[in-house]
Amino acid sequence: MEQTESKGRLIKWQVKQPHISDGICHSLPTLKNHTVSIVCLLLMAALLLGCHPSHKDARTTAEEAMAAYNDFFQSLKGKRNADTDEIISLTKEWRKLDAAVSFALSSDTANNRHAHANSNHIALGDSIAVQMALLINSQKRSFADYLSVVRGLNDVEVDSLSQRLAGSVHLFYRKASAIPAYKGSGKEVIRKYERLLESTLANSLRTKEDAIDFLRQEDVAFRSFLLHLPSLSSGNTPLDGITRNTGKVIRGIIALAGKEQPVFGKTEVVILLAMRNNRRLIQNAEACVDGLSRLRITDNGQAAAYLWMILQPWISFDSFAYALMDEEQLHTMEKLAERMPSALAKLKGIDFPLEAEELPTLLMETFILGCQ
């Protein structure tokens, strides 16, 4: 019940976001069907074996494992609050004991005899989830707390091939960062960005080299756009064309992996586009936080757009996304976490679907309970 409620609250909020995609904000409060994101998520899911690896325990019988699981539950019932470090420790113990029960039950040759034990295991796990939710909500959590939970509990394992691919993508974007941004005004930058997309669509992407070259040029265009974000975020400059054409180009890159003779492997394109998404959302949030100090907010819509762009990485990144980040990106997330209170204070009082201060607790709850 508690797990479902937690996920429901997060999903309910996410569908109320302002119209912002690919890190570019729009003043129209409408949503589109993000086909690209859905395809990527389906492909990502095929790569993952689960939220965390199995833990084998020295206990050899289901009765012993269940007794230890129940002891853990009883110890939780006696707690009224817990700091973030203790939450992490308790979650690790919960995962270990839960896996031990599952392993013991699956290993027992007399499974029929333990049908009742299976149902007890599920019921006890649900009761533990309720107690953990109470402990998570026993204190106000910060974005730094949530990031500590991610670092401490993200057990997604990336295989050696994916690790090599991720390393290559990080190197690619480090080199792309050295290319100078566009010169000119915000409107001139937007026009250059639009021409890049129009030219790419006109010529179409046929090879891996075409796709990689586009991503390199797109990175320059996006960084150039972010330099003018304060002036472009007022809604006076139309950005729908960039959003629409970017979606078409990305769908074209995904299609290269689905050809009869694919240009990309599916794993390769998922990692490439997931890391592109990581980079853009982090860059965008960082630019928004930096820009708040000199931004003169003109209306509630602009403020809501800024708030969403600042919050978007925290809501969008899942375990897989964090697993693909390098230390530099994680360090940037840590710096963003430190700056979130002051950024939110500046945007306080705007009309938004949820109190942003509640988000770290909700994210922590969803991250921990969602993988159980």
Residue 37 is assigned to a structural domain of this protein = no
Torsion of CA 186, 191, 195, 197, to 10 degrees: 60
Query: 370 with 7: CB under 8 angstroms?
Result: yes
Same domain, 119 and 260: no
Q: Is residue 45 part of a domain?
A: no
Across the strands, what pairs with 25? 20
Number of domains in the chain: 2
Which pLDDT band holds residue 13 (cuts at 50, 70, 90)? very low
Contact criterion met (CB below 8 Å) for 322 and 154: yes
Closest listed residue to residue 323, CA positions, set 168, 170, 158, 144 = 158
* Parent domain of 199: 159-351
Contacts of 289-294 with C-beta under 8 Å, sequence gap 24+, read: 289/336, 289/339, 289/340, 289/343, 291/229, 291/230, 292/343, 292/346, 292/347, 294/230
Average the pLDDT over 175-183 and give the result.
97
Task: Give buried/exposed letters for 232-257 (b at 16+ CB in 10 A, else e).
Answer: bbbbeeebeebbebbbebbebbbebb
Res 49 pLDDT > 80: no
In a shared domain, residues 321 and 372: no
- Going from the C-alpha of 162 to that of each of 47, 174, 325, the distances in angstroms are 10, 18, 12
Residue 26 maps to a domain: no
Domain assignment of residue 200, yes or no: yes
Whether 341 maps to a domain, the answer reads yes
The arithmetic mean of pLDDT across residues 178-196, rounded, is 97
pLDDT-based confidence at residue 327 (cuts at 50, 70, 90): very high
Residue 356's pLDDT is what? 86
- Residue 171 sits in the same domain as residue 308: yes
**What value does the mean pLDDT of the chain take?**
84
The string of pLDDT tens digits covering residues 25-40 is 443 222 333 444 434 4
Same domain? For 191 and 208 the reply is yes
Residue 179: both structure tokens together: 């290319």
123 and 147 co-located in one domain: yes
Q: Is residue 30 part of a domain?
A: no
- Cβ atoms of 249 and 201 within 8 Å: the answer is yes
Residues 124 and 180 reside in one and the same domain: no
Quick check: is 82 in a domain? yes
Task: Tell me the per-residue pLDDT of 134-158, one tens digit each, with 9 for 90 and over.
Answer: 999 999 999 999 999 999 999 898 8
The verdict on 222 and 263 lying in the same domain is yes
* Per-residue confidence (pLDDT) for residue 60, from 0 to 100: 66
pLDDT tens track for 251-304 = 999 999 998 899 999 999 999 999 999 999 999 999 999 988 777 777 788 888
Shared domain for 209 and 336, answered yes or no, is: yes
Look at residue 8 and tell me whether its pLDDT is greater than 70: no
213 and 360 belong to one structural domain = no
pLDDT of residue 151: 96
Residues 192 and 326 both lie in one domain: yes
Better-predicted residue by pLDDT, 341 or 51: 341
Q: Is residue 367 part of a domain?
A: yes
pLDDT at residue 236, as a whole number:
73
pLDDT at 320 over 80: yes
| Same domain, yes or no: 368 and 241 | no
Say if residue 183 is in the same domain as residue 317: yes
**More confident: 53 or 351:** 351
